[in-house]
Amino acid sequence: MNSCRYKGMLASLGGAVLMYFICLHGGLSVQCSAGIKDIKFSDEIFLASKIHDLDPALITAVIHAESNFKHRAISFAGAKGLMQINPPTQRYLRVKNVYDPFENISAGTKYLKELIDAFDGDVILALAAYNAGPGTVRKYNGIPPYQETRKYVKKVMAFFHQYKQSFISATLAS
């Protein structure tokens, strides 16, 4: 069994144990994911957020907008899984099993983080690039004039603010 596949399976099967381990050994409280515990795939989201240093609320928002938490989702354009990774991006990220929740979330999170870095921390442009491609965002020097992309960015940002608030509220309540 190849090690990437093993790691993905291990994370899927033992996400809670891994999350607990990371929280304890990272100096965080065990309650570090209290805000997302009731969200589908929260263990995988939290682990990917720690590995790739990205806000779990943003990852959750992208998943919500892309697939509505359906890990076997397929778009009309052939993008697959929770974060709707298209075949070229799947090859670029070396995703073996696009339907494995942890592998998909980790790869999508890694790609989103790369886009955020490529656009100098501009989350809006990174989201536009996630949807329309980084070349298109560069071509238009901003969000492309595509209705789909403009709606997508607004949708993800609305989800992001909702999840961010609920994560903060849950953390304060714990």
Per-residue pLDDT, 168? 79
Give me 81's structure tokens. Answer: 């899984």
Beta strands in the chain (DSSP E): none
pLDDT at 47 over 50: yes
- What is the mean pLDDT of the segment spanning 59-72? 98
For this structure, is 114 an active site residue?
A: no
Burial of 72 (0-12, 13-18, 19+ CB in 10 A): exposed
Per-residue pLDDT, 119? 98
Per-residue pLDDT, 19? 39
Q: Which tops the pLDDT comparison, 1 or 161?
A: 161
Per-residue pLDDT, 167? 78
Query: Residue for token digits 């993800």?
Result: 156
Catalytic residue (one of 66, 103, 114, 148) = 66
150-153 contacts, C-beta under 8 A, 24 or more apart = 152/65, 152/127, 152/128, 153/124, 153/127, 153/128
Q: Average the pLDDT over each of 9-23, 32-46, 84-98, 122-136 and give the range with the smallest value.
A: 9-23
Q: Taking the complete model, does pTM exceed 0.85, yes or no?
A: no
Per-residue pLDDT, 70? 97
Query: Residue for token digits 């144990």?
Result: 17
CA atoms within a 13 Å half-sphere pointing along the CA-CB vector of 27: 0
74 strand-pairing partners:
80
The CATH code belonging to domain 3-173 is: 1.10.530.10
pLDDT at 9 over 90: no
Say which amino acid occupies 76: F
- CA-wise closest residue to 107 among 66, 152, 154, 162: 66
Angstrom distance (rounded) from CA 100 to CA 9: 8
- CA-wise closest residue to 65 among 106, 108, 13, 32: 108
Domain boundaries, the chain: 3-173
